[in-house]
Amino acid sequence: MQVINLMLIFALGLAIALFSLENTQVVSVNIIPGLSYKLPLSICIVVTMGIGAVLAWLLMIWMKLQGWVIQWQKRSALKAKDQKIKELLEDVEQLQAQVEQPTRYLTTAEAINEDNTQTAEIIS
């Protein structure tokens, strides 16, 4: 992969050098009224491409930061939902325990009733 990167950088540098040799005309660059420079056309174009590349890079960084913020917000919301799920599961377990306790008492009471009925039958 490094060899491919090196070849791409070399090819780009060679293209810029050839471009500079072919475009040597002097142009006037007006930055603000009263401030102008005379530069070769190739330098003006290369500088403009560089500024565009830097702006594209800054935009890419801005977009990555936005993506990270969105992911962080989603993770935070997911953690909050997980915590809520844990709390609800604990509530369900407590309610199930409460529901099971009266049935234990009912089964015990039914057993006592059956014993009393059997005792009453034996006595009579």
93-114 mean pLDDT: 69
Residue 103 has pLDDT above 80, yes or no: no
Block residue for tokens 């009912």: 106
CA angle 76, 80, 86 (to 5 degrees): 145
Q: Would you list the domain boundaries of the chain? A: 2-123
Q: What is the pLDDT of residues 18-69, one digit of tens each?
A: 888 888 889 988 888 888 889 988 888 888 888 999 999 999 999 999 999 9
For residue 90, the model assigns a pLDDT of 93
Contact 47, 19 (CB under 8 A): no
Tokens of 15: 């293209």
CA–CA distance, 17 with 12 (Å, rounded to integer): 9
Q: What is the mean pLDDT of the chain?
A: 84
Give 84-112 as a DSSP string.
HHHHHHHHHHHHHHHHHHHHHHHHHHHHH
Residue 15's pLDDT band (cuts 50, 70, 90): confident
